[in-house]
Structure 1
Amino acid sequence: MRTRSQSSFSFSCSLFTLLLVTIATLVHTSSAGKSASSTGDSVLVILEPAKKAEYSIFLNGLEDKGYTVTIRAPKEEQPLLIEAGLPNFSHVVLLASDTKNFAKDISPQSLVQLLSLGTNLVLTLGLKQNLLTSLAPEFSLLLPPPATPLVSYFPERSDPPSIIPIDVSSQSIPNDTFSVLSSQVTGKVWFSGTAFALNSNPLLFPILHAPLESFAADLSDASGRVSDALADASEKGGEGLWAGSSLSVVAGFQTLIGGGTGHGADAGLGEDNQARAVWVGGSSLFSDEFAKKKVVEKVQQERGMKVVENPSGNTQAASEIAGWAFQERGVLRIDEVTHHKVNQTEPLEMYTNNDEIVYTIRISSFNPSTRKWEPYSGLKDLQLEFTMLDPHVRIALPPVSGKSGVYSTTFRAPDRHGVFKFVISYKRKGFTHLIHTLSIPVVPPRHDGYPRFLSAAWPYYAGAISTSVGFLVFCAIYIAGEAKEEKEKRSKKE
């Protein structure tokens, strides 16, 4: 029979073991739950569970970054995308591009609502028509006819023409667009799916273009050759021909909601709720097959051509595309805005005409490596507007040398009174939008605020002074003359 001391010792050991397990669980949760995203850790992947193994490299990469990945079949009812008006996940990835029917809560309307609530989306198109086919035009995507994949016969290879290697390094990026695919994507990216054209939407921009020699065509015939439809389309010109690098296979969309002054747990009341969406022409870009597929190339050497096999860039490209969509990179935030007169430090409630005003703003960028917000001085084209209906002052807002993340400028208030606004509106493709407004009155000088003497008014001052002096001289002469006459009269009487 166990003694009381043995029972107490056993209970203490059990309690100590339970405490150690709890601490280990909390440490693991805190270390794994902190993802590289600035908006949240939870990811919902809509995918047939049987196909999970086909995307294991991509999904494991998300978990390695600290994301909590949940798999849901397209026709399953749980977990819900939106519950009680709030999103259940920070990010949603739809890899079921060939699925035609989805659950009730997965609809074009719910996906748009997710964006408005701040949830980021990765949407993959397929060759079959589904809900994404009807949603794409709402994002200004122009799709070719159904069942027309992107094909290319160059470079020469043993793969079918619908499996295309895309050279990322040869694609040009405008100066005002953030580079989603970095220089770390060294190999060519394998792609199979549909391409699309981009309409003139300022919130939409291409991430990966189709090759110059590629085109969209139906290769459903047994021979695998392009039918006469391509020739007919070329005769119609731009109306029917889908070809060239004007097409895109990956495009990004940045919403324009909120004030650009906060994200995720760091955001306070009234902060922004910006979200991102990435459109991909085929889910195979994220697949293990393309991640492991070698790129066979012919390299010129001294003894002739040599065939070499290089790894593809799909693993890194898929990680960076999803990373941009999940707001890991290109995320900016306004931390502080101050203004004051020159030679002063405290802001005023109102300014006077022609006051010299100093405007300063602090901007930070999210660093996915450290999971922290860090001062950012990389904006070279930031501008400040001082507006009242129309901009009265538009001036560059350069970074301050020696002060990381600080931008400042000095300008003169207009010679006009009214309620003006300091306006920051920085919208560049690929970056989160920075939008900040601050109202401030500009008033005329007070009655005692005007200068006492104006150099331009000296002629008027001289005229007034000379008139006064002349009047005094006249009075003196007049009084002196009367006194002399009176004295003469007295002397005559005597």
Structure 2
Amino acid sequence: MLRLFIFSIGLFLFTCVWSSTLNIEGSSKRLLVLLDNLGIRESHAFYFKQLKDRGFEVTFKSSDDSSLQIVKYGEYVYDHIIIFAPSTKEFGGRLDAEILTQFVDAGGNVLIAGSNTIGDVIREFAGECGIEFADDKSSVIDHLNFDVNDDGQHTLIVANPNNLLSSELIIGQAKKNNLPFLFRGTGMSSDPDNPLLIDVLTASSTSYTANPNEKTLSEYPATVGKRTLLISVLQARNNARVGFVGSVDFFSNDFFQSSVQANNGKKYDKSGNQELAMALTDWLFKQRGVLRARNIHHYLKDDKTTPRFYTVKNDIVFNVQFDEFVHGKWMPFNGTDVQLEFVRIDPFVRTTLNNKGGQLDVQFRIPDTYGIFKFVIDYNRIGYTHLYSATQVGFYSININIIFETMIKRKQTDKFTWF
């Protein structure tokens, strides 16, 4: 009876751990949107409508809802979370920074938008990701790059598209469109020692983050110049993605549709907010930039067979199929910079794979060194999920090969003299 009880507990724990891991692709679209003001559903209706048009199953909840939970019966109820509740001090239910961190560890994706007031939960979670928001009541200020509709504090800034990250996977056509962005919110800074963080949009060199109600600066600003982050993203080691935007207004109907007129006189019929917001969301929620490797094969060049073991100086061929997930479909990957390493502790061969419609292959000669080797692909590029593949094989010297073949033929019945 005791054994049965222990087995049942073990099976329950295994089921919880197993089921609490989310898929890393973008095929599942269960989305939770947390709001500190339900009026945001109307003020940001265009953004949410485009999410629904993209097939997301959107669930709206108040951030202080006492029934709020993202795990039920050991399984995650949602694949993605949007938090447009910057001022919420404590979230309802059991949601806190630790739970959000566990959600990301399980492969979930999160988008957080801030304002000039940031709650403790968001601050703590951002800190876990290497992002620090400026103090409460602080806003990004730019006395040289603001919109004519600004209220006089120069906090409705006009962000230059030249300050965008150069990666179409993350920003779409926002940089090519060359439309400025409207931004009203707080600034952020990132941990320079965190290699997983990517700065997407920075403020201009004349900007800083401080309290706009203070006529004179009593202390050094929280951020200055292009070190002022407006948008930053993180791709974790398990390929989960987290985005931080310092302005919840960035996604609003007004900012999507508004014309832009900078104080220097330049006028634009529309801001670039909508293009950037949707491209960023697509990337964060794995609608693009997801890779997979399949159909890995290696064989002798001459007879195209895969022996039980290779010998040194054999000419071999390695091929693999690479696919990219784009808006619900797996498409052939067209990258031409994928490399293969032939590794025994250190790489003995490093070569670029030839890409023919997603089918990558290369041929090379095995070096004159026997042992246990691996075919290793370690593809890590900005905007794409990190793809690592290792296939282990054995290689022998020619003399050892002859001895093994002889043993096999004689079925190990004769006596051998070993040299």
Q: Distance in 2 between matches of 1:359 and 1:203?
A: 31
Deviation at 1:431, TM superposition (A): 0.8
What TM-score do you get using the length of structure 1 for normalisation?
0.70
Correspondence list, 1:409-488, <5 A: 409-446=362-399, 449=402
Residue in structure 1 matching 2:98, options 89, 99, 109: 109
Correspondence list, 1:147-158, <5 A: 147-155=137-145, 157-158=148-149
- In the alignment, structure 1 residue 251 sits paired with structure 2 residue 232: yes
1:375 aligns with: 332
1:159 aligns with: 150
Which runs of structure 1 show a deviation greater than 3 angstroms over 4 or more consecutive aligned residues?
Answer: 142-146, 306-309, 446-450
Partner of 2:321, secondary structure, is strand
2:307 aligns with: 348
Residue in structure 2 matching 1:294, options 238, 259, 264: 259
1:49 aligns with: 38
- In the alignment, structure 1 residue 192 sits paired with structure 2 residue 184: yes
Contact kept? 1:178, 1:431, Cα under 8 Å: no
1:38 aligns with: 26
Which range moves more in the overlay, 320-329 or 243-252? 243-252
Residue in structure 2 matching 1:314, options 264, 273, 283: 273
Q: Distance in 1 between matches of 2:319 and 2:71?
A: 40
Deviation at 1:307, TM superposition (A): 6.7
Q: Distance in 1 between matches of 2:250 and 2:354?
A: 40
Correspondence list, 1:20-169, <5 A: 38-47=26-35, 48-128=37-117, 129-155=119-145, 157-160=148-151, 161-168=154-161
Q: 1:125 to 1:381 in 2, by over 3 A?
A: same
1:31 aligns with: none
Contact kept? 1:115, 1:121, Cα under 8 Å: yes
Gaps of 5+ in 1: 1-36, 234-239, 258-273, 300-305, 451-494
Residue in structure 1 matching 2:244, options 267, 276, 279: 279
Partner of 1:77, secondary structure, is coil
Contact kept? 1:298, 1:308, Cα under 8 Å: no
Contact kept? 2:311, 2:401, Cα under 8 Å: no
Q: Distance in 2 between matches of 1:61 and 1:277?
A: 20
**2:340 maps to amino acid:** L
Gaps of 5+ in 2: 1-24, 404-419
Partner of 2:201, secondary structure, is strand
**2:231 maps to amino acid:** V
Q: 1:336 to 1:79 in 2, by over 3 A?
A: farther
Deviation at 1:95, TM superposition (A): 0.5
Deviation at 1:298, TM superposition (A): 8.0
1:206 aligns with: 199
Q: Deviations over 1:435-486 (max 9, x none)?
A: 1111111112245749xxxxxxxxxxxxxxxxxxxxxxxxxxxxxxxxxxxx
Contact kept? 1:43, 1:69, Cα under 8 Å: yes
Residue in structure 1 matching 2:289, options 289, 306, 330: 330
Partner of 1:228, secondary structure, is coil
Higher percent of residues as strand: 2
Q: Deviations over 1:264-316 (max 9, x none)?
A: xxxxxxxxxx32111111211111221232202589xxxxxx87451112222
Higher percent of residues as helix: 1
**1:247 maps to amino acid:** T
Contact kept? 1:44, 1:71, Cα under 8 Å: yes
Corresponding pairs, count: 371
Q: Distance in 1 between matches of 2:376 and 2:228?
A: 36
Q: Deviations over 1:295-342 (max 9, x none)?
A: 02589xxxxxx8745111222221111111111121211132111111
Contact kept? 1:149, 1:194, Cα under 8 Å: yes
Q: Deviations over 1:153-207 (max 9, x none)?
A: 1235341411112122x13646xx5541122563321111122222232211111
Deviation at 1:421, TM superposition (A): 1.1
Q: Distance in 2 between matches of 1:307 and 1:417?
A: 67
Partner of 2:227, secondary structure, is coil
Q: Deviations over 1:223-274 (max 9, x none)?
A: xx4x133xx52xxxxxx662112332111111222xxxxxxxxxxxxxxxx3
Contact kept? 1:417, 1:443, Cα under 8 Å: yes
Q: Percent identity?
A: 25
Q: Distance in 1 between matches of 2:341 and 2:84?
A: 43
**The structure with more radius of gyration:** 1
Q: Distance in 1 between matches of 2:269 and 2:279?
A: 20
**2:92 maps to amino acid:** A
Q: 1:44 to 1:172 in 2, by over 3 A?
A: closer
What TM-score do you get using the length of structure 2 for normalisation?
0.82
Q: 1:361 to 1:97 in 2, by over 3 A?
A: same
Contact kept? 1:152, 1:213, Cα under 8 Å: yes
